[in-house]
Structure 1
Amino acid sequence: MMNKSLYPSEVPDDRFEVLNNLKDSQKPIKILILGGLNSGKTTLTTFLANELLNLNYRVAIIDCDIGQKSILPPATISLSFPKTNFSNLYELKPYKSYFVGSTTPIQFFGDIVVGTKLLCDYAEDKADVVIVDTTGLITGSGADLKRMKIEMIKPDIIIALQKRNELKSILKPFENKIRIFYLKVYENAKSFSREERKEIRAEKWKEYFKTSKIYNIGFNDVIISGSRIFQGEKILKDEKYLLESLFKWKILYGVKCEGRYTIVKRDLANMVRQIDKNILYYIEPERFNNLIVGLIDEEGFCIGLGILKNINFENETLEILSPINEDEIKNLKEIRFGRIKVNENGEELGLLDRDLI
C-alpha cells in the first residue's frame, strides 16, 4: 500500500532540538503540528512519537488529517496509543475515533474542532504527550480552522513546518501565549500530486472495507442523524396524498419540521413544478446510495464506518455495509450520515454539499 510517510532515516538537527526541549516540559504536554501540504507533518509526528517512546513517555497521537488519513478509518479523527516503535502511522490501531464524514474540511469545521477537542481531553488523562497531526489546509478558511483548533485545544507547544513564513500570520496572535517552534520543511520531503493522494485514499478505503458484511437496521432501532429527512415528524397520510396529487410524485418518505416539508420522492410525470424550497424540499432516493455513515456509540465516538447501500423507506430499514463485527454492532446507538460517497472497491464517487440531504 502506498503511504505518505515512513520513519525518517535522516533527521534534521532542529527536530532533535525540539525533542530536547520537550524533556523539560511539564506533563502532560499537548503538541500541535502545523504545516501545508507535503510539509512533513506526519513524518515529524512519527519521529517524535518513536523518540518519546524510547524515553519511556506514554504517547498519544491524534490524526486529524481527514484528507490523507493515516490511522484508519478514513473520514474520521482518530486517537491511538502506540506502545512500541513503528515505522508508519498506518500501522497503528485507533483507540477512539470521531466521525467527520468527509475527506475535506470545508463545511465540517465544527465537526473537526469538536472531535479534536474531545479526543484531546480523553488522551490527556492517559498520556504524557499528546501529538496532534493536522491537515495541510493553511490558507483562506484553512487558516480560520487552525486558529479555532488552537483556541479550543490550547496546546502547550506548536511546531510550525514552513517553507518560508506561510504560518506566521496564523500564529502571530499566539506567539506570546504558547511555545512555538518554527522549523524548515525538510528539503527531501516527498511531494504527492492530487492524483497520488486520491490513489492513496482509494487504497485505504478498499483496505478498510475488505472484510465487510451487510447489516439491516431499522429506523426505530437507532438514532439517525446528519440528514434533514430524519428531522421532525412524519407527514400525515392526507398531507402525503395532497403533495402526490399536486406534483405527480410517488412519495417514499416525508417529514415536516417548523412548517417546512422534506420528502423523498420519484417523479410520476414529466412536468414543470414551481416549488419554494424554503417550504418544500425534495430528494431523490439515489442521492443516499453509497454514502459513508458513521456508526456511533453511546459516548458519541465512532465505532466504525459503513457504506449506505440502500434505504428501504417502505420497511423503514437501512442497508449498511460495514467491517465491524457482531459484538461491536451491539454498541451502536446512532447512525450519522456523512457527505462522501464511496464503494467497497475504494472508488470515491463524489462529495455532497452539506445541505443536499
Structure 2
Amino acid sequence: MNKAKYTQEVPEDRRDILTILENHKKPVKIMILGGVDSGKTTLATFLANELLSLGFRVAIIDSDIGQKGILPPATISLGFPDGLFESFGDIKAYKHYFVGSITPNQFFGEMIAGVKLLTEEAEKKSDVIIIDTTGLISGSGVELKRMKIETVKPDVLIALQRKDELEPILKPFEGKIQIFRLKVSEKARKFSREERKKIRKEKWKEYFKDSRPYTINLNQFIISGTQLFQGEEINENEKSLLETLFKWLIIHGRKIGEKYFVVKVDIANVPRQIDKNVLQYFDFEKLSNILLGLIDKEGFCLGLGILKFINFKELKAEILTPLDEEIMKEVREIRFGRIRVREDGEELGLLDRNGL
C-alpha cells in the first residue's frame, strides 16, 4: 500500500548527507524536493530511520497529498516516529491539516499554510524535521515550491534531479539555504497513473473501513470551504423565476453580493445560456460523497468524513467518518473538500475549486 520502504541500500551521497545532518545545529529543518517517483519518500524514510538510530528526535511532515504514506490522503500530516519504521504508513499522525484534494493545483494556500503550521508544531519537540513534498515541480509548481520555501525557511534543501529540472526552484535560494543536489537513484521505480490511483484506493478504504454514520446539525458548526451557506437565502420569487427560466428544480439557493448560487436538478433537457458572473449552479447529485475535513478549535484536522446527504430545509447532514463520538465532540468546523470519494475507496472525481 506504500510505494517507499526503508532500505539501507542507498547511493553513497545519501550517507554523506546523513553525516552532515548528524553534525548540523539542531533543530534542523530539511525539505526534500523532486519530481514524481524520484525517491523523495524513500530518502526521507532512510534519513529518518538513521537519525532515529543515532538518538535524535525526528519529525516527519508528509505533504504529498496524493500519495500520502501517513493516512489519510488529502491532508498534510505530522508524525513523530518513536522507533524504526518500514514506511510512512507505520507512523501514527500527531496532527493533520486539511487540504481537501489529492492535487495541489488550486490549493496553494492550503499547501503552504499546512506545512508552515505543522512545522511550527514539529519545532516544539524534535531535533530534525523532514518535510516530504509533492512531485509538482514545473509550471505553477515552481511558484508553489518557492513560496513554500520562503514561508517555512528550511535550513537544508535536498534536491533529487534526473537532469536539472529543479534549477528554476533552487536558483533563488543559492547562498541563502544549504542545498544538496542528488541524482535520482537508478532503483527509483516509476508508477503509472493507474497504479497511483490503485494505491490511493487502498488507502481510502483502509482509512474509512470502520466508519459510522452521523446526523449532524449544521447550525452547530462553522461551515467553510464552500459557498453553500454564504450570503442570503433567495426568496420564493427569485427561486420561481430561475426555475422557470432554466427548467430546474432548485433545492437550495443563495444570493452572494450580486451573484446567485444555486443547487439544482434538471427537469428538462434544454439548451441553457448562463452568465457565470451572475449565476453559478451546482448539481444536487454531486453533493454526495464529497470529502469533508472535521476541524478542531485550533484549525487542525481531527479526521475526514464523507458527506452523504444534506437536508437544506432542516440544515442537517448525513456523514460517514471513522471518528468516535468523543472526538466528534471536539469538532468545531466542517470544511468542504474538492474530491468525491466513496468509503470503499473509489474516487468519483475532482471538483473545481470555485465550483462549490
Name the TM-score class by shorter chain: over 0.9
Letter in 1 for 2:224: S
One-letter amino acid matched to 2:219: N
Q: Are 1:283 and 2:297 matched, yes or no?
A: no
Q: Residue deviations 1:234-288, cap 9 Å, x none?
A: 2234433444455443322111121211111234445454433222222221121
* 1:313-352 → structure 2 map (5 Å cutoff): 313-352=312-351
- In 1, distance between residues paired with 2:187 and 2:262? 54
1:216 corresponds in structure 2 to 215
Q: Is residue 10 of structure 2 the alignment partner of residue 11 of structure 1?
A: yes
2:22–2:51 CA contact under 8 A, matched in 1: no
Per the alignment, residue 49 of structure 2 pairs with: 50
8 Å CA contact 1:235, 1:255 repeated in 2: yes
Corresponding position of 2:228 = 229
Aligned-pair Cα RMSD in Å = 1.5
Q: One-letter code of the match for 2:182? A: L
Alignment match, 1:126: 125
161 and 261 in structure 1: CA distance in 2 versus 1, 3 angstrom threshold:
same
Distance 2:348 2:290 in 1: 9
Q: Within 2, Cα distance between the matches of 1:39 and 1:267?
A: 46
Give yes or no for contact 1:252–1:314 (8 Å, CA) kept in 2: no
SS of the aligned residue for 1:67 comes to: coil
The letter of the residue matching 2:174 is E
Distance 2:265 2:314 in 1: 17
Identify the residue that residue 36 of structure 2 maps to in structure 1: 37
Distance in structure 2 (CA, Å) of the matches to 1:249 and 1:108: 31
Q: Distance in 1 between matches of 2:138 and 2:280?
A: 34
**Cross-structure match for 2:27:** 28
Q: How big is each residue's C-alpha offset from its partner over 1:78-101, in whole Å with a ceiling of 9 and x where there is no partner?
A: 000111110111111110000111
Partner residue in 2 for 1:189:
188
1:32-91 deviation line (CA, Å, top 9, x unaligned): 001111111101111111111111111110001011111001100000011111011111
Equivalences for residues 96-135 of structure 1 within 5 A: 96-135=95-134
Alpha-carbon distance in structure 2 between the residues aligned to 1:112 and 1:273: 37
When residues 86 and 314 of structure 1 are mapped into structure 2, their CA distance, relative to the original with a 3 A threshold, is same
How has the CA–CA distance of structure 1 residues 190 and 276 changed in structure 2, closer, same or farther, with 3 Å as cutoff?
closer
Distance in 1 between residues matched to 2:65 and 2:132, nearest whole Å: 10
Does the Cα contact within 8 Å between 1:61 and 1:80 map onto a contact in 2? Answer: yes
For residue 239 of structure 2, what is the aligned residue in structure 1? 240
Deviation at 1:9, TM superposition (A): 3.7
Partner of 2:69: helix, strand, or coil? coil
Partner in structure 2 of residue 172 of structure 1:
171
Structure 2: segments with no counterpart, 5+ residues: none
> Counterpart of 1:168 in structure 2: which amino acid?
E
Q: Which moved more, 1:62-71 or 1:258-267?
A: 258-267
Equivalents in 2 of 1:184, 1:267: separation in Å?
54
TM-score normalised by length of structure 2? 0.96
Deviation at 1:24, TM superposition (A): 2.4
- Summarize deviations over 1:174-204 as a string: whole Å, max 9, x none: 0100001111211112221111111111100
Residue 200, structure 1, aligned to residue 199, structure 2: yes
What amino acid does structure 2 have at the position aligned with 1:81? F
State the distance in 2 between where 1:232 and 1:327 align: 33
CA distance in 1, matches of 2:353, 2:76: 19
Aligned partners of 2:38 and 2:147: how far apart in 1? 21
Secondary structure of the corresponding residue to residue 131 of structure 1: strand
Shift of 1:155: 0.3
Q: Which amino acid counterpart does residue 37 of structure 2 have in structure 1? A: N
Aligned to 1:156: 155
Aligned partners of 2:161 and 2:16: how far apart in 1? Answer: 16
Same amino acid, percent of matched pairs:
62
AA paired with 1:326?
Answer: E
8 Å contact kept, 1:206–1:345: yes
Q: Please give the alpha-carbon distance, in whole angstroms, between the structure 1 residues aligned to 2:41 and 2:282.
A: 40
In terms of mean alpha carbon deviation, does 103-112 or 261-270 score higher?
A: 261-270
**Aligned-partner SS, 2:93:** coil
How many aligned positions are there?
A: 356
CA distance in 1 between partners of 2:287 and 2:100 (Å)? 13
CA distance in 2, matches of 1:300, 1:108: 16
